[in-house]
């Protein structure tokens, strides 16, 4: 299979595109990457369109990820099937509405079940060809080492006002890391016993950072997550969920005072993450792409 993978490929050793492309290649897929943001910065959407058309005949299917601000007209001369992977909450992002209004896609992968509900109500023509594609973690970063930790608890994600408010009661127990990516990001996680997860906004999400923290050997203490997603991922007993900032502090105190409880969550987390890697997600995508190509 030859996949024209249109996404943001400028991230090296981090980002969903990097790991998905790597997993595709490991499974024998010929990946032809196009970084649409780089092309658009040089020549606008017209250059994206021209680049795709110049590759006609070199690929079997288009895999379009993120796609912020790309108009459907970019694909007007594409005859191969096109699959969209929307990796953001649709409630926060309106920049792919024009694409979703179109009928150019053979399949649409969405970020959460809430996104599916949004599509069902706003873009119902996709109902019969859409599904959720959850995030994952690099299998090579699954790190089983519950000992020798530098930090008790860490938060290493973008700090919104809401997140600052949630972290404030636990501020004396949590180390905050900012602006760390790739190997440095994972090194920080591997150095901590616990990782905290707080939603960026009031929209409930299940971010990649949860998977990455679990893979790095952290026990995850999280603001309440989508119950159906947690259940589907077999993580019901692997993540310690809390409803308020005060409950988050109480959970940290409980873990700090009870090594047995901490180790129990660690073991459940390690078990759950084994089936939630980017390789698992690539298999899911490739199964669908093969079905589309077979008609």
Rg of the Cα atoms in the chain = 20
The 10s digit of each residue's pLDDT in 181-195 is 888 999 999 999 999
Predicted structure pTM score = 0.87
Q: Could you tell me the domains of the chain? A: 2-136+277-294 (3.40.50.2000), 139-273 (3.40.50.2000)
As a whole number of angstroms, the distance between CA 211 and CA 175 comes to 19
Q: Which pLDDT belongs to residue 15?
A: 86
Closest CA to 269 of 224, 223, 210, 188: 210
The 10s digit of each residue's pLDDT in 197-237 is 999 998 888 988 999 999 999 999 999 999 989 999 999 99
Residues in the chain with pLDDT < 70?
A: 92, 146-147
**Which one-letter DSSP state was computed for residue 97?**
H
Report how far Cα 234 is from the mean position of its chain's Cα atoms. 17
């Amino acid at each position: 299979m030859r996949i024209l993978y249109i996404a943001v490929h400028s991230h090296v050793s981090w980002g969903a595109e990097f790991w998905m492309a790597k997993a595709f290649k490991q499974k024998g897929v010929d990946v032809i990457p196009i970084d649409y943001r780089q092309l658009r910065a040089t020549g606008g959407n017209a250059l994206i369109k021209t680049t795709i058309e110049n590759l006609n005949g070199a690929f079997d299917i288009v895999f379009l990820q993120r796609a912020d601000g790309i108009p459907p007209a970019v694909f007007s001369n594409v005859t191969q099937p096109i699959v969209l992977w929307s990796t953001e909450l649709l409630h926060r992002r309106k920049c792919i509405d024009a694409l979703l209004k179109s009928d150019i896609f053979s399949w649409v992968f969405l970020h959460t079940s809430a996104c599916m509900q949004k599509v069902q109500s706003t873009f119902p023509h996709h109902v019969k060809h859409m599904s959720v594609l959850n995030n994952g973690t690099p299998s090579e970063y699954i790190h089983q080492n519950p000992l020798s930790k530098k930090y008790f608890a860490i938060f290493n994600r973008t700090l919104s006002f809401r997140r600052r408010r949630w972290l404030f009661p636990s501020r004396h127990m949590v180390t905050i890391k900012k602006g760390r990516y790739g190997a440095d990001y994972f090194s920080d996680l591997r150095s901590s016993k616990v990782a905290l997860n707080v939603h960026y906004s009031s929209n409930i999400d299940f971010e990649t950072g949860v998977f990455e923290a679990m893979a790095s050997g952290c026990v995850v203490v999280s603001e309440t997550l989508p119950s159906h997603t947690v259940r589907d991922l077999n993580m019901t007993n692997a993540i310690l969920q809390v409803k308020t900032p005060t409950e988050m502090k109480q959970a940290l105190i409980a873990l700090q005072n009870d090594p047995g409880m901490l180790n129990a969550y660690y073991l459940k987390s390690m078990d759950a993450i084994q089936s939630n890697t980017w390789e698992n997600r690539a298999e899911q995508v490739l199964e669908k792409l093969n079905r589309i190509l077979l008609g």
